[in-house]
Amino acid sequence: MKKLTAILTAAMLMFTVSACSGESASTSDSKKGTIKLVLKDEDPSNPATKKYFSNLEKALKKDEKLDVKFELVQMPQGNYAEKLNLLLFSGDIPDMIYFQGGDQQIAEQDLLEDLTPYVEKSKHLKSIMEPYNEKRLKNYPYLLWIKPLDLKTPVIRSDWFNQLSSSKTLMADPSPENYKAFFKELTEKAPGGGKPKYAITAAGDITEIDSIFNMAFGINQTWLKKSDGTYEYAKVSEKEKAKLQFYSELYKEGLLDQQFATKQWDTKEKAFYDGEAGVITGTNGKVIDIYNGKMTQVNGKEAELTVLPPAKGEFQGYGPTDISKESRGIAISSQSKNKDLAFKVLDYMASPRGQMIDRIGFEGEHYKLSGDEIELTEKYYSEWYARFWEPAEFETEKPLKTPLLSKPAEQSAQLARDYYSEDNKVMLTEEASAKWDATENLYKEFSTDVITGKRPISDFEQFAKEWEEAGGAEITKYVNGKMK
């Protein structure tokens, strides 16, 4: 902690000297300047990235009279959050920063701008925020991420789904037991002449599978209220124990991918397209849209995806929505000389013109004009994504001849909205967060060992004790204090 503080203090001094030797943030031209930014998955040498930001520069100048030049930071391969923190600790802090973890320790050093007053004065951005965005900003005013709910929904190719006799039962009553029966028929039957090796796969751990089953087992929030009025962490509760027992049965019977713990996201998706896995989960909306586009490209129109419901039990849903803070998003450096200009860019991206640039891609590639209508291409469905905002309500300048999302993608987004519920997750201090990471690693190791049969479920109470000793007891005490 002391080392981190020293590094960040040095970075702040560097910026202070820089600011004193040149223009201050308050006196800089808010309509002209270079915005240095870092965005995950945006390589400045990529032709599509170059074209996107070139188009955006022209649009900002034409529509808003903003003379902006974008300078993208080249990020090395590897863990994005770790590589970003190395960049920031070196004192090289861009004006606009996309975080996917690791932001809290930067914010605690006063290196991120409070965006609340900017949003309040915005022309467009405040009008596209959902209630959960507003609550997150109030709790943690440093990140913005105006996207649909990021809940994951399970999908299966429709030609397989329609051939299974258990499909109707599952849709009518998606209990964990009926899900298991559905998975069993899927692996035993040969729908479409193929036979998946396993019913469901996941990438690296059980988080994706939890989106189907957690709430059915009564795990509807991060902290569960006990009969005495205090709260316990869901992952050390009896409800979690019952869920892990269920997962271990799926694994033992060959329904859950035997390599789920080491699977990567790309090999998970390949297994789905190749027919090795029957069901995978993906973030509702655009990710399901991409899955659907690739699946139909590989296996034909009849393989269009069917979205499966969340399992139903004590509760039903794809998981609660965290409102403590944005888990990822765009921040503005408090040391930037172009804070106002940077926010004007973010605000423009929420405008109708900004949304046209961000949402439908390049004319001639991702869409074409067909008379007075906009026709989206296959390339749009298989590869395009919004770099900035993606509000639920979006009206194009001309009517869409083809829908923005495929039917399965829109259905997944609607189901995520239908099952919306709020989490009670508490934002931890930096010191507590380090202990939290240790306890989460302990849980991941134990849950994987139970599911794969390396440890019996009877060890659950021992695990819960180890979790408390590793910092869980201290965190629980802190959370209960915050809950009052």
The HSE-up count of residue 16 (CA atoms within 13 Å, CB side) is 8
Looking at the fold, whether 45 and 12 belong to one and the same domain comes out as yes
Phi/psi region, residue 110 (left: phi>0; alpha: psi -120 to 50; beta: rest), is: left
Domain boundary (298, 320, 342) is at 320
Q: How many domains does the chain have?
A: 2
Looking at the fold, whether 161 and 284 belong to one and the same domain comes out as yes
Q: Which residues pair with 70 in a beta bridge?
A: 35
Domain boundary (364, 396, 428) is at 396
Bridge-based pairing of strands 231-233 and 305-307 is unpaired
CA distance 60 to 81: 30
Looking at the fold, whether 360 and 310 belong to one and the same domain comes out as no
The residue to which tokens 């995520």 are assigned: 416
119 within a domain of the structure (yes/no): yes
Looking at the fold, whether 246 and 264 belong to one and the same domain comes out as yes
CA distance 101 to 436: 14
Looking at the fold, whether 46 and 111 belong to one and the same domain comes out as yes
Looking at the fold, whether 119 and 162 belong to one and the same domain comes out as no
**How far is residue 250 CA from its own chain's centroid?**
26
**Two tokens, residue 272:** 């789905």
Looking at the fold, whether 178 and 75 belong to one and the same domain comes out as no
CA distance 85 to 52: 26
474 within a domain of the structure (yes/no): no
Burial 248-279 (b: 16+ CB within 10 A, else e): bebbeeebbbeebbebeeeebbebbbebbbbb
Looking at the fold, whether 53 and 40 belong to one and the same domain comes out as yes
Looking at the fold, whether 262 and 162 belong to one and the same domain comes out as yes
Please say whether the beta carbons of 413 and 282 come within 8 A: no
Quote the pLDDT of residue 12. Answer: 47
Looking at the fold, whether 167 and 309 belong to one and the same domain comes out as yes
DSSP 8-state symbol, 168 = H
218 within a domain of the structure (yes/no): yes
359 within a domain of the structure (yes/no): yes
CATH value at residue 7: 3.40.190.10
Global pTM?
0.81
425 within a domain of the structure (yes/no): no
**Two tokens, residue 130:** 């959902």
Per-residue pLDDT of the chain (484 residues; tens, 9 = 90+): 444 444 444 444 444 434 343 333 344 567 899 999 999 989 999 999 999 999 999 999 999 999 999 999 999 888 898 899 889 988 889 999 999 988 988 998 999 999 999 999 999 999 999 999 999 999 999 999 999 898 999 999 999 999 999 999 999 999 999 999 999 999 998 776 667 899 999 999 999 999 999 999 999 999 999 999 999 999 999 999 999 999 999 999 999 999 999 999 999 999 999 999 999 999 999 899 989 999 999 999 999 999 999 999 999 999 999 999 999 999 999 999 999 999 999 999 999 999 999 999 999 999 999 889 999 998 887 788 899 999 988 888 899 998 888 999 999 999 999 999 999 999 888 788 889 999 999 999 999 999 999 999 999 999 999 999 999 999 999 999 998 7
Looking at the fold, whether 231 and 177 belong to one and the same domain comes out as yes
Residue 231: domain span: 152-320
Domain boundary (320, 336, 370) is at 320
403 within a domain of the structure (yes/no): no
239 within a domain of the structure (yes/no): yes
DSSP 8-state symbol, 195 = -
203 within a domain of the structure (yes/no): yes
Looking at the fold, whether 167 and 261 belong to one and the same domain comes out as yes
